[in-house]
Every structure is written in C-alpha cells, then in structure tokens.
Amino acid sequence: MTYYNRRQFITRSTLGFAGATLGLSLLGSTAQAANVGGYKAIVGIMLKGGMDHSDTLLPKDEDSYLALKALREGIFAGHNSEDAQSSRNRENILELNVSDAARFNGRRFGLPRELSAVRDMFNAGDAAIVGNVGPLLEPATRDDFETARVSLPKRIFSHNDQQSTWMSLGTEGSRKGWGGQFADAVLASDATANPLYTAITASSQDVFLAGDLARPFRVPGTGQSITLDADRIRSHLGRGDDSDAARVKLNAYLRRQSFDHSNLFRKDAAGSAGRGIDNQISYSERASNATPLGTIFPDTGLGRQLGGVAQAMSLRGALSVNRQVFYAAQGGYDTHDSQAQALPGRHQELNDAVSAFRAAMVELGTWNDVLVFTMSDFGRSMVGNGDGSDHGWGGHHFVMGGSVRGGQIYGDVPDVDTGHPQYTRKRGRLIPTTSVEQHAATLGRWFGLDDGELATIFPNLNRFERAALNFA
C-alpha cells in the first residue's frame, strides 16, 4: 500500500475538467535554465489506435509501389487501386518534393489525396516527416529483437501501454508525461508564468501533460462550452424561484464555499475542487470577451479541438503565458479490417483540421512560433491482414510549423522489403530507427529547454548517436 503525506496529495491531485492552481513554492523548486523569451507552443496530436504509416506515406516510384502492393493485396483491393479514380492508384498519389531525396536511391514518396493540405505544407517547407520513429531504450535491429540482447520497451504491441509510452516513456499507469515535464521546466524558469494555462488539453486527461508543477487545464472546442457553474445552467433544477435558490446552494456546494473539516486531506480536496470551478469560469469569461477568430474550423472532433487550442493561443497575453504545451487526440486508427473504408476519412479529418489550424496561426501571427506534431500508439504491420493491418511498432509522423525545416524526411524509411533488418520476421513490423526520446528532445530544444533538462526528462538519449534531430 502507498501512503501519501499532505504535500504529496496536494501536488498530485487534479480536477477532471480543470486543474487548480498550485503554488510553485509547494514543491520547493529552484529555477532551471529553460529559455522562455518570446512565445512558443507545441501541439501534440495523438492518433489513437495505431496509424498505418504504410498507407499514409506511400511509395510513388513504380518498384516500391508494386512491392508494397504485393505485400498488401487485400488493402489495395479494398482501395480499388486499379481504378483510375482511386486515391491508391499510383498516378493519383500526391508526390512529395523531398529535398533530401538523394539519400533514398531513386525511391519517391507521396501522400494520399485526403492529405493534400499536408502535402502542400511539406512542399512549401512548412512540414516535415520523421521516419520510423517509436519507443526505444537503445538502438535495435531484428536480431536484437529476436534474441533480446538489448533492452526493449515493455508491452510493445499493446494499445494503452504504447500510447502511454509515447507520451510518458512508460507503460499505462505512468504519472508524468514529457509534455508536462516541458511545462515544468518553463514554470521553474519563469516566476511570472501562469501555471494554470501552461499545459492545456482540448481532449481527455491523458498522461502527456502531467507534471510536477504543470496540470492539464481543459478548454472547450469550437462551438462548445465547459461549465461547472450551476448558476448559469437554467435547465438544471427547474426555472422557478425555489429552483434559483437551489442552484445558488448547489453552486456554493460545488465551490466548497462553506466547507470545513478537521481532516486536512478532505479540506485540501474541497479547496482544489472549488478553485477548479472558479478557474474554468474565469477562462470562459476571457474567451467570451475575446475577438473571435476569423478562421472557420471543421465541425469534426479534431477540428473542434484544434479550434479550442487556437482560441486559447489567442488569449495568451491575457493568460500571462510565454510557453504552452497543448494536447489533442483523434481516434479510429485501429484498422484490423476494412482499412480502405476507415482510413481515408481519418486522414481527411486530420488534413482539414491542421489546415484550418495553420490558417488560424497565420491569422494570429504565430505560425512561426508553433510546432504541431503527430504521435500514435504504434505503426502497423507491413504485411497485410486481409483488408486491414496488424499492430506494429515504428511508424512515420508529421511535424508542422513555420519554424520547421520542412520538405525533408528525417530519420529513416526502410525499403519495402520485409527481409530488411529493420523489419520483424513476423508480419513485417518496423523496428524503430529513431526513438521517441530523440524526436521529443528535438521539440524540447526548440521549446527552449537546455541539454541538462532534456537529459533529465529523457534518460536514454545518451544511448543514441544523436541526441536530437534537426527538423526545427
């Protein structure tokens, strides 16, 4: 059994929709070295279910295309790839103008037309691809994997565990994410920063934003509202005078305005809950008084989330923040079957949402101050699973923003050949060549963290030849 003292309880407690403000002095932190000048934000988009990288970054050259098609007959048939109108017909794949194409020995790459805006960002230099990235403790090949002669991440093919490992470097149940630790470093370096609005989720309370100082604050998406204020919800408890009195009492109860108890844990929990409601109301009032963005976001789950992220960025001055870490999520990527029916819609939703987000950042004048990146449980098997694909390991991901050294593929994209030593023998799963830690450390360095802070957050960096990539 684990026992907590009161300080630990206060530090670790959160409130569903909105974390309560925690004084930095509670943790006795000393200032670190993070550079917090100007404004910067990173936006992580978790693609839940395991995005099929081989049906996303597509081969455009004929030899690679035919090799992939032979390994995935059911998937290509599901896409009706022989049809001249099919998005998986080689002629319709949108080619990427890869500036470092020479290192791929004549291989060419493209994206499906559902990702047309992402392709345009890549070709304009506003987006890059990080190839074959995934959880690693040290470099590994197929022989290493089969003989377990190197340390390997735990529960590699498990959805929940690998989502957690991407976000926190540990399996399900981990308590701190690297996004939250980025926010911690900023808060420890900037006494004027508002800890309440440094780590913001437009989705669920996943581990990515959890830190020691930082707590995820949830913001509503476009066209949505989050309110815990009983006074404002007229439909609750009726509409008569007695009902108004009941609402006042309910609101006082929710805010714990008259709560008193000799048990300090109960008292602290009540205070945290009450502050969380007040904080949410305060944010909602700021948002309602702000000038609306001119950019129209798509009315989809991810579109509404990124609309909420953009609105929060528009309030950065009023919220007193120079650094922010955001989190959004999109589901539907667990494509064991009917992949051709499911994946194009997921791609289109992602494409339209990030396209609108870029437009909003240009409108706010912050596109150069933002990095958007995707992550997922894992990639999927190269060898098809009928008309779908199976759980994998490494995968290819997008990084977008005005500061990205775009038009390039960072990391590696192994040949379409399951005999390659970076594929497992069973089902051709990619073994990552770039670790999540290297990928995330690149984001952290751009965000302002120094090498010491990054080494603390990412303890395995020294096991790799490069501590970070250079996409930003």
* Residue-range domain boundaries for the chain: 31-222+297-463
User: Can you tell me the distance from the alpha carbon of 426 to that of 334, in angstroms, rounded to the nearest whole number?
Assistant: 19
Ordered alpha helix ranges (H), 315-409: 316-319, 339-364
pLDDT at residue 289, rounded to an integer: 79
253: pLDDT confidence band, cut at 50, 70 and 90?
Answer: low
pLDDT at residue 447, rounded to an integer: 97
Top-confidence residue, 252 or 121: 121
Question: Half-sphere exposure of 39 toward its Cβ, with a 13 Å CA cutoff?
Answer: 17
> Any idea which of 16-30, 146-160, 258-272, 420-434 has the lowest mean pLDDT?
16-30
Q: How far is CA 109 from the centre of its chain?
A: 24
**pTM (two decimals):** 0.86
pLDDT at 210 over 60: yes
**Residue-wise pLDDT tens digits, 90-113:** 999 999 999 999 999 999 999 999
Residue with tokens 């502050």: 275
pLDDT at residue 241, rounded to an integer: 61
How many other C-beta atoms can be found within 10 angstroms of the C-beta atom of residue 18?
26
**What is the mean predicted confidence (pLDDT) over 330-337?**
97
280: pLDDT confidence band, cut at 50, 70 and 90?
Answer: confident
User: Can you tell me the distance from the alpha carbon of 64 to that of 108, in angstroms, rounded to the nearest whole number?
Assistant: 8
pLDDT at 256 over 80: no
pLDDT at residue 291, rounded to an integer: 86
Secondary structure class of 141 (helix, strand, coil): coil
Proportion of the chain above pLDDT 90, given as a percent: 74
Helix-strand-coil split of the chain, %, nearest 5: 40, 15, 45
Top-confidence residue, 245 or 380: 380
Top-confidence residue, 364 or 2: 364
pLDDT at 136 over 90: yes
- What is the H or E stretch that residue 58 is in? strand 58-59
pLDDT at residue 259, rounded to an integer: 56
254: pLDDT confidence band, cut at 50, 70 and 90?
Answer: low
Q: Which residues of 265-284 are buried (b: 16+ CB within 10 A; e: fewer)?
A: eeebbbebbbbbbbbbbebb
Ordered alpha helix ranges (H), 215-299: 241-254, 264-289
Q: What is the CATH number of domain 31-222+297-463?
A: 3.40.720
Of these ranges, 185-194, 232-241, 326-335, the one predicted with the greatest mean pLDDT is 326-335
How many other C-beta atoms can be found within 10 angstroms of the C-beta atom of residue 345?
12
pLDDT at 12 over 70: no
DSSP state letter for 334: -
User: Can you tell me the distance from the alpha carbon of 460 to that of 440, in angstroms, rounded to the nearest whole number?
Assistant: 12
Average per-residue pLDDT in the chain?
87
**Residue-wise pLDDT tens digits, 26-84:** 333 344 568 888 999 999 999 999 999 999 999 999 999 999 999 999 999 999 999 99
User: Can you tell me the distance from the alpha carbon of 300 to that of 304, in angstroms, rounded to the nearest whole number?
Assistant: 6
